[in-house]
Chain A
């Protein structure tokens, strides 16, 4: 029986970058899982994602946040990106992002982010984002709202998960 979990691509930054993109994603899997570990080069930044180069207001997110002593829930509506988390200056951000049924052309695309955290400032967040498009996802870009830079050594790995 074939392994249902396949590493599709992995990137480790050798120089700072404002975004990290996986393109030409094959449509032969059921779900995608993106695993990220990285830091912000200067100051803090809000890490987000866009798919298929779509910069229109087609994303909506519902999220929960914890800053160690306080918790809250928020929402972004008709946003130009899917929300993930805030990474603080000098802290290591880690996380996962699940793209569910990313290649079907019938439904909008739902992404779950259960574990984006910040190891130094003890922040944690979870989110669900809907990209309001029925197109199959063929590219994913990890970006940030402040146009800051991901540090050297930041890594991002994309896995494909294939159902029978």
Chain B
């Protein structure tokens, strides 16, 4: 991807983003852990993307919260398929966003679920925050493919993201990387 700069660099004051897609932080687990958190996220990007693989002890789902808010300020909808049927589901006034519907995280040796999570316009203080997530696992005979949308009803800029496994925790080799995407 070629960086696009629409302004002469010398005219820019403050932070100068010279690339369009930057790695901010990565966490790879060496032992089972209940959650992964990205804190002190810089406000210098337009959008955020989290990419990763995960395995969960005890099944369950992966849930996202922002800025340590665990009140009922979230909602989400999902479209999913389990190899036999396709379905949709929505939840209102929840205490988190469901990033990975139940059954979407692997518990099988060597097999990890994939995640691509977008958090749009995360620093805009004039609107609620919207997320979309792509997730799935295939266990050669079972599995699930999920598309999830989410909303955090808060106008605050997002500076902390926590991903929690509501089973018995993310297992070793689970890895999530946070990227920042620069706007034009």
Contacts and interface: CB of A to CB of B under 8 A. Distances in A.
Given A73-B83, A98-B114, A100-B51, A112 B21 contact: no
Interface in B127-178: 134-141, 143-145, 147, 173, 175, 177
Contact of A62 (B23, B136, B177): B136
Most chain A beta carbons < 10 A, residue from B23, B25, B82, B173: B23
Contact of B145 (A31, A104, A128): A128
A128 B136 contact: yes
Interface in B6-21: 18-21
A60 B108 CA distance: 14
Interface residues of B, number: 46
B154 to A, nearest CB: 27
A101 interface: yes
For the complex, would chain A's binding face be called helix, strand, loop or mixed by DSSP majority? strand
A94 interface: no
Most chain B beta carbons < 10 A, residue from A3, A62, A132, A162: A62
Contact of A110 (B2, B79, B114, B179): B114
Interface in A29-82: 30-31, 60-64, 71-75, 77-78
A93 interface: no
Interface of A: 1-7, 30-31, 60-64, 71-75, 77-78, 98, 100-101, 104, 106-108, 110-112, 114, 126-130, 132, 134, 159, 161-164
